[in-house]
Chain A
Amino acid sequence: MSFLRDEKIRGILYQLITIVAFAMLALYIAHNTAQNIEARGIKTGFDFLNNSSGFDITESPIHYTTKSTHWDVYKVGLINTLIVSFFGIVLTSILGLIIGVARLSSNWIISRLAATYIETFRNIPVLLQILFWYNVVLAAMPSVRHSYSFFNSIFINQRGIFVPKPIFLDGSIYIAISIVVAIIIGWFIRIWAKKRLEETGKEFPLFLTNLALLIILPLITYYATGKPINFDYPVLKGFNFEGGKTYTPEFLALLFALTIYTATFIAEAIRSGIEAVNKGQKEAAQALGLSKMQALKLVILPQAIRVAIPPIISQYLNLIKNSSLAAAIGYPELVTVFAGTSLNVTGQALEIMAITMGTYLVISIIVSLVLNWFNHKMKIKER
């Protein structure tokens, strides 16, 4: 038995024992579950995914009717989760960056405002914030008959924001092409501007130029090809507005709450990132004659972001998971429609919960893989 004294072997042995014990426990639970479910006469299996759901979903990005299956319900829920998560992440990153930088502003009022924002919204549970914004939207907006109207084509009321929806006709592909072309040209301008900066030291208004390019080129194409985009305008019919695109109060409240809440954490991550940048860097930037803005943009932020990325990744993941709180206000994301209504209709809690949790796991893993890869790429390359 002397090999037991070898620490390495002992370590492996312990691990083996743990794995076996865990596997046995898992098997026991699975077996027990199957037996209990059988004994109680609870239906099992995944056939229900092919049955038609029999209920309607209000906001569906893909074609969906009451004849669609529970599998379609799953897809609608998943896409809605992804939509709100995507916009949430984009908006919260922008807001978080602004607040994080403002927090360190030398202007006392700005920095106090940012600090107050962070302290307030970070410490209120996000579910309460979702409900709060939802009820604010409902209470503050006028009823359908008294909607705020802008140019008779955009309407705002308790039922949401109604905007014209573009309908793409035949020639619209050229507009898409023109956007791509604008981006490519912009990219060349960037290379040229960089080279010029290095050679002559003159800055070029890159952002403005490219923005103008991105607007003007497609606009010209639009008129040149005979306006191939039509708009479907919302109109008041009976109870509600019909046509156009609707952003519901549920979607807006959820997006708003998730953005505002998560931004507090992102702001803190950015702040600690900035504080982690060596003071000498800032002084060196000043010594080079860079303006405050330039120093922030060119010297401080690129280094700060590197420190901030890992905590920001976990905030993105939190945002995605928190989107499931939408069940409280009825935004039809995965948990609301699939782990909610489908579960109610079929009663197959075990299967549906397994699929739902598996889905969140996969989303989380994909997001962290992508961001970790990005993090790796951004790391300071030692030369």
Chain B
Amino acid sequence: MKRLMKLSAAVAMVATLATAGTLDDVKKAGVLKCGVSTGLPGFAEADSKGTWRGLDVDYCRALAAAVLGDASKVKYVPLTAKERFTALQSGEIDVLSRNTTWTETRDTTLGINFAGVNYYDGQGFMVAKSLGVKSAKDLNGATVCIQAGTTTEMNLADYFKTNGMKYKAITFDQNSQVDDAFFAGRCDVLTTDQSGLYAKRTKAKDPSKYVILPDIISKEPLGPSVRQGDDQWFNIAKWVLNAVITAEEKGVTSKNVDDMAKTSKDPEVQRLLSKDGTMCKNVGLEPGCFANAIKQVGNYGEMFERNVGINTPLKIKRGLNALWNKGGILYSPPFR
């Protein structure tokens, strides 16, 4: 009932809040309110000191650095899958950066806009090794743990139906409860975005006891989103993401960004980092906005390797998330 009240309060807020300029609001507040997941290693998780880390968190920080000049000026609002869209609609957060799949229905009916993709993913399955399951096709009759309010929930039904298989879904509100139930043996299978499975496996007492099946059953382009109806803020959200991707493509890193700004002969790098700041002014920000983001948080590649890359517990390869000219599909429109 509490959750119900909370949700309806948020709904009521939709009722009373008129759309204002989000940029002005953020500047006035001096802090960016960023919706993140409640705890998914590598994507958004608070460490023991309360510092948030992760790929999604880094996007919030880059945005704050670009808008406010300081990557630490972020207020993190942890949200379950179910709460996230209402929180964005109601103005409780300025941007949602929480492994959220860009889908047609969400984009067109929820009053939100997706600013791009910061992780190309797909839905996978994790099972206990002892079950001896080799492929998702062997899962007929299995009990599956999922989180409510996700694309996962819907893909699962589609997948089992198309393959003529039966399943039992146990659906939880809280992410932690999904994990607890799965590791306690309530379910045979845990399914979600494959990146999420890698993240969750690190939480197991003995991660080597679990395998992630090779099958990918869906496309899950994950990306940040903002409220519909505020085009300026939408532009900012889009181009901060593009900036960190372009930075990687051009070899601009948090370490060399100052030098590159001075010495680079590449016209696009000059535009991206320029002191006269045409590009920044175009989106309504102060000159040096993108340089700030790159300097304080790093380019996309740095974010990736720091949070989910091969040297982290998640050990994820770049794969689809490599740049378009490095075998992946990450591609930013030009800064021109």
Contacts and interface: CB of A to CB of B under 8 A. Distances in A.
4 smallest CB-CB distances across A and B, nearest first, come from A40-B111, A33-B15, A42-B111, A43-B109
A158 B168 CA distance: 14
B177 A249 contact: no
Contact of A349 (B3, B81, B86, B105): B86
Interface stretch (A15-23, A170-178, A320-328): A320-328
21 contacts: A29-B12, A32-B16, A40-B89, A40-B111, A42-B14, A42-B89, A42-B111, A66-B161, A135-B180, A135-B184, A138-B184, A139-B184, A143-B185, A159-B143, A324-B4, A330-B171, A330-B181, A344-B148, A344-B153, A345-B153, A345-B154
B19 A341 contact: no
Contacts of B140: 238
Interface string B49-90: 000000000000000000000000000000001100110010
B11 A329 contact: no
A353 B228 contact: no
Given A138-B181, A240-B168, A330-B172, A41 B108 contact: yes
Given A127-B2, A322-B1, A340-B82, 19 more contacts: A29-B12, A29-B15, A56-B156, A57-B169, A66-B157, A143-B185, A158-B185, A239-B142, A336-B171, A339-B7, A341-B171, A344-B82, A345-B154, A347-B105, A347-B109, A349-B85, A349-B89, A356-B4, A357-B4
B17 interface: yes
A138 B186 contact: yes
B141 A353 contact: no
A350 B11 contact: yes
Contacts, number: 166
Interface residues of A, number: 57
Contact of A238 (B1, B17, B141, B169): B141
Contact of A324 (B1, B143, B160, B228): B1
Interface string B17-30: 11100000000000
Contacts of B111: 37, 40-42
A343 B110 CA distance: 11
Contacts of B131: 239
Interface size class of B (residues with CB under 8 A): 35 or more
A341 B1 contact: no
Interface of B: 1-4, 7-8, 10-12, 14-19, 81-82, 85-86, 89, 105-106, 108-111, 131, 139-143, 148-150, 153-154, 156-158, 160-161, 167-174, 177, 180-181, 184-186, 188, 227-229
Contacts of A344: 81-82, 148-150, 153
A325 B1 contact: yes
**Dominant secondary structure of chain A at its interface with chain B:** helix
A240 B227 contact: no
A331 to B, nearest CB: 9
B106 A347 contact: yes
A346 B108 CA distance: 11
A325 B174 CA distance: 12
Contacts of B170: 58, 250, 330
Given A330-B172, A347-B110, A36 B15 contact: yes
Given A40-B229, A345-B154, A353 B184 contact: no
Contacts of B142: 238-240
A242 B141 CA distance: 9
Contact of B148 (A66, A159, A336, A346): A336
